[in-house]
């Protein structure tokens, strides 16, 4: 009887380029030598380092610039990790770096929720995901959270089970934090089932300085959020819109419980689609309702 290898989610702590390569190049080479499909999703500088170290083996590895594909942390699981694992047969091997120096405080809660949900989304699958963390450049609280979101931590030559590992749903709840208040200049509109078409026109007009395909994506995302409010909350909600530099921000709030923090079932398909369409998605759920804020910039 064949045993199925368990899924592993590991954090790799590194302090410089040599550290990074020592922890990642062997991981990739072992996968290539074993005939396993290998994905490396890290910032461009890491891709260059690994390509040089791997030599000819790099041709057998799929590389993705995470600063582009994973700009929205909520896009990484469905759009990068699951997309790759779904194209493989048997055991897979992936390096995913969702947090790097330069991630903003606005993005960070979504990054931690992503890392926590990886453990749920890939439970029972055959493979391993290694997540590099630059401990020399990242704040201490980021490294502490990495110990909470990864069952295994690798630091230098030491590989240990993390004693700080936290239940994924519990950690996702910790980062279910209130969003910064909208600016006083934000447009505000109420909507209900009979006003969805008008709401779509409002979003189209407000975001008309974006590229046409971006406007279409934003309208589709907001419509999905508003429809969810109508179906699962009080049948109505509030749309707010404003600009932050070259970014349009749309916020949908209602009195419902929101989308479940899952990428594994049909119940979460709507929020998956919204994440795939937008640059950033932030959600806050409380006893009084749910607020989902989406960002799309030129």
Distances (CA, A) of 202 to 230, 234, 238: 18, 22, 13
Q: pTM for this one?
A: 0.89
Least confident of 2-6, 91-95, 192-196: 2-6
Mean pLDDT of the region 66-92: 93
Chain-centroid distance of CA 181 in Å reads 23
Mean pLDDT of the region 165-184: 88
Each residue's pLDDT tens digit, 98-110: 999 999 999 999 9
Mean pLDDT of the chain: 91
For 265-281, b/e burial (b = at least 16 CB within 10 A) is eeebebbbebbebbbbb
Mean pLDDT of the region 282-290: 89
* Whether the predicted pLDDT of 270 surpasses 70: yes
- The whole-angstrom separation of Cα 31 and Cα 24 is 11
In the prediction, which pLDDT does 263 show? 42
Mean pLDDT of the region 112-120: 93
Sorted by where each starts, the structural domains of the chain and their CATH numbers stand as 8-174 (3.40.50.300), 187-297 (3.30.565.10)
- The whole-angstrom separation of Cα 177 and Cα 151 is 24
Mean pLDDT of the region 70-99: 94
């Amino acid at each position: 009887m064949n045993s199925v290898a368990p899924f592993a989610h590991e954090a790799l702590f590194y302090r410089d380029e040599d550290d990074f390569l020592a922890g990642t190049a062997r991981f990739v080479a072992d996968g290539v030598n074993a005939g396993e499909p290998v994905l490396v999703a890290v910032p461009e500088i890491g891709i260059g380092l690994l390509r040089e170290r791997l030599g000819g083996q790099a041709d057998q590895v799929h590389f993705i610039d995470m600063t582009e594909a994973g700009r929205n942390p909520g896009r990484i699981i469905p759009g990068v990790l699951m997309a790759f694992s779904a194209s493989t047969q048997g055991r897979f091997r992936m390096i995913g770096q969702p947090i790097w120096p330069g991630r903003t405080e606005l993005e960070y809660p979504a990054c931690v929720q992503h890392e926590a949900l990886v453990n749920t989304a890939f439970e029972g699958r055959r493979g391993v995901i290694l997540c590099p963390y630059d401990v020399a450049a990242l704040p201490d609280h980021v490294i502490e959270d990495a110990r909470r979101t990864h069952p295994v931590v690798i630091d230098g030559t030491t590989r240990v089970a993390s004693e700080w590992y936290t239940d994924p749903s519990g950690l996702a709840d910790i980062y279910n934090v209130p969003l910064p208040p909208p600016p006083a200049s934000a447009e505000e509109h109420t909507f209900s089932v009979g006003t969805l078409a008008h709401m779509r026109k409002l979003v189209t007009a407000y975001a008309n300085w974006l590229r046409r395909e971006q406007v279409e994506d934003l309208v589709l995302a907001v419509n999905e959020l508003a429809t969810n409010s109508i179906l699962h909350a009080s049948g109505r909600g509030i749309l707010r819109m404003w600009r932050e530099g070259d970014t349009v921000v749309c916020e949908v709030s209602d009195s419902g419980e929101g989308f479940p923090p899952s990428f594994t079932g049909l119940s979460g398909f709507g929020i998956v689609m919204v994440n795939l369409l937008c640059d950033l998605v932030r959600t806050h759920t409380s006893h009084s309702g749910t607020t989902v804020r989406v960002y799309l910039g030129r």
